[in-house]
Amino acid sequence: MSDTNSALLLVDIQNDFCEGGSLAVPDASKIMPVVNSLIGEASEAGQMIIASRDWHTVDHASFEDRGGPWPPHCIQDTEGAAFHAGMQLPDDAVRVSKGTGFDTDAYSAFDGTQLDTFLDRHGIRHLRIAGLALDVCVRATVLDALKCGFDAELVASGTRAVKQESATDVFEELRAAGATIS
């Protein structure tokens, strides 16, 4: 893959998914050195850097009080929705907001965001992916990237699972679907 047709896609590295957040992923902060190294490599290679984020409305459909599976998290314009301060995200990184409607949820960075057409327009064919959480939004993003025809490389050390015991199965599922696990 040439550098110009590759991009780094960082999935939901937000305060609410890190230690102390309302929906913290165990050991989430341990991915920061890997993520920052990936950002440095992509920047040096002149590659596009994209960061997705949950950007939920107040009273979002995924919240437990609305019958959803999750506690309130990543509510628009709150500290919990902010990207983790330890992530050295460049100012020119592309930000993709998902789960923005009141009554629909979105796990994948591709779900309702038109990210696939944006990447196509910019000639991107290969995605290096890292972020949170492996067994939820990262999994959905990798699967959708593959469905959209992109080469997807998941950086294993740059992700953590909500349920750590599911990590091996998720890696195997993604590999079987066509992803590269590095």
Closest CA to 31 of 86, 107, 102: 86
* DSSP states of 106-130: --STTTTT-HHHHHHHTT--EEEEE
Q: What is the pLDDT of residue 43?
A: 97
Whole-number percent of the chain with pLDDT over 90: 97
DSSP 159-182: EE-SSGGGHHHHHHHHHHHT-EE-
Tell me the C-alpha distance between 143 and 173, whole Å: 9
Per-residue pLDDT for 44 more than 70?
Answer: yes
Q: DSSP class of residue 140?
A: H
Give the tens place of pLDDT for each residue, 45-66: 999 999 999 999 999 999 999 9
Separation of alpha carbons 134 and 161, rounded Å: 5
Q: Under a CB-based contact definition with an 8 Å cutoff, are residues 174 and 142 in contact? A: yes
Angstrom distances, CA of residue 169 to CA of 26, 45, 134, 161, 164: 17, 32, 11, 11, 10
pLDDT of residue 15: 98
Distances (CA, A) of 159 to 5, 30, 32, 64: 23, 9, 9, 25
pTM score = 0.97
Report pLDDT digits (tens) over 143-181: 999 999 999 999 999 999 999 999 999 999 999 999 999
CA distance readout (Å), 71 to 17, 51, 64, 102, 143: 11, 23, 5, 15, 25
Q: Which residues contact 160 (CB under 8 A, 6 or more apart)?
A: 25, 26, 27, 28, 30, 31, 132, 133, 134, 167
Query: Given this model, what pLDDT does residue 2 score?
Result: 47
Query: Which residues are known catalytic residues?
Result: 12, 98, 137
